[in-house]
A = this chain, B = another copy of it.
Amino acid sequence: MTLTAPAQGEGVPLPGWTELLRRSPLEELLPTASRGDIISFALGLPAPQLFPVRDCAAAAARVLRAQGQASLQYGPPPPSLKRHVVRLMGSRGVECGEGQVFLTAGAQQGLSLLARLLLGPRGQVLTEELVYTGLQQAVAPYRPRTLTVPTDPETGMDVGAAEALLAGGARPAFLYAVTDGHNPLGVSMSLEKRRRLAGLARRHRVPVVEDDAYGFLHYDEEMLPPLRAFEAEWVFYVGTFSKILVPGFRAGWLVAPPSLAPALGSLKESSDINTATFAQHTVAAYLDAGRLPAHLRALRREYRARRDAMLRALAEHFPRGAAWRSPRSGFFIWVELPGEVNLDEVLRDAIETERVAFVPGRSFSADARPRAARSMRLNFSNCTPERIAEGIARLGRVLRRH
């Protein structure tokens, strides 16, 4: 079906699905929330003060000195980068080989390629009721039917509900899971549920796309392995250097059965020929220098301090009856407010009068649940503990007015 969408294209006829295109909250908030005078809990940005800029500069200079021409030419990814990814996956408890590693321009490209590969027009996807907006965008062109299951704030996805759907005959093209540091809920899935979900994928032959953007940023000593550690054939793992190194290189990876590699390779080539060779060489050179483990420890320490600062401030300043949990991984705290409240108005008020921003929960709602409408996602990675304390105090003031 072709519709004319004059608001978009001065009469250029666009396919009907483009009406579904909406700018994500991230995109809409970027200009406002990036203003220096705003304390922003809105986006999922890593802290730029923690970027290893000097080590990145040294890596880039080394690459250009030693292999300037090759690193700037079209070409396959440097093999050493795949070796590093295999080692990183090993540190998460995942055994895989280089043949299972497929390099991407960040996690979002991984999701986008898998959606394109797995999802036919008007197919089904199975997600949680609250889901990362980037996944919604990645599947939108295929206009899928979205099946949803609830999420327990303590233990993660309701795997029993997923099982019931599959047992009832649902045949989604894939099930989408964020096992650790869920975006937006902050929850990490229990070990028992990981095992059960992996078994479910195998038994029902349903691919699980596991988005592990935050799994390396865990704040407890104990770290659970991702789903991919329990199931190699039906779990497609999506990883990225954006949160653990820098986003600006757009370097990510998939771990998927080698049999998918040719199709992924063709899709990737048709999307952008190949991933930025220079950035990949630079990431590989950074990893060669062996500083990532120490850098990861520093990130965990600092992000844990920021999380704790936010938890303390929430307890002090947020209204009675508001509920949240302490996330064990990732960048986000999900706060559910008591009673009726219009969070769009709260957000406008918060930005205008108190210069503080967040994302209203409905933005993440796959099926417009009322609970999401009175919740907010708060990011704690991109402000210092002091700014977090100040910003939550401001937000508390705004909430008391609504």
Contacts and interface: CB of A to CB of B under 8 A. Distances in A.
Contact of A73 (B21, B45, B70, B118): B45
Given A106-B272, A266-B22, A69 B49 contact: yes
Interface stretch (A149-157, A218-226, A247-255, A342-350): A247-255
A269 B73 contact: no
Contacts of A247: 72-74, 273, 277
B51 A72 contact: yes
Q: Which of A205, A262, A271 has the most CB of B within 10 A?
A: A271
A276 B278 CA distance: 11
A140 B270 contact: yes
A56 interface: yes
A234 B13 CA distance: 11
Interface stretch (A2-10, A182-190, A309-317, A388-396): A2-10
A124 to B, nearest CB: 10
B265 A27 contact: yes
Contacts of A46: 73
Contacts of A34: 75
A215 interface: no
Q: Which of A43, A242, A263 has the most CB of B within 10 A?
A: A263
A257 interface: yes
Interface in A172-200: 173
Interface residues of A, number: 92
Chain A binding site: helix, strand, loop or mixed by DSSP? helix
Nearest to A134: B270
Nearest to A257: B10
A23 B276 contact: no
Contacts of A269: 23-24, 26-27, 108, 134, 137
B48 A70 contact: yes
Contact of A112 (B14, B57, B271): B271
Interface string A56-96: 11001100110011111111100000000000000000000
17 contacts: A8-B260, A8-B262, A10-B233, A14-B117, A15-B120, A15-B123, A18-B263, A23-B262, A24-B266, A45-B73, A53-B64, A53-B69, A61-B61, A74-B242, A105-B250, A106-B272, A134-B273
Given A18-B263, A51-B73, A57-B65, 14 more contacts: A7-B259, A8-B262, A10-B259, A13-B205, A15-B123, A21-B267, A27-B269, A45-B73, A53-B69, A57-B60, A73-B248, A74-B242, A137-B266, A276-B279
Interface of A: 1-2, 7-18, 21-24, 26-27, 30, 34, 43, 45-46, 48-49, 51, 53-54, 56-57, 60-61, 64-65, 68-76, 105-106, 108-109, 112, 116-121, 123, 134, 137-138, 140-141, 173, 205, 207, 233-234, 242, 246-250, 257, 259-260, 262-263, 265-267, 269-273, 275-279, 281
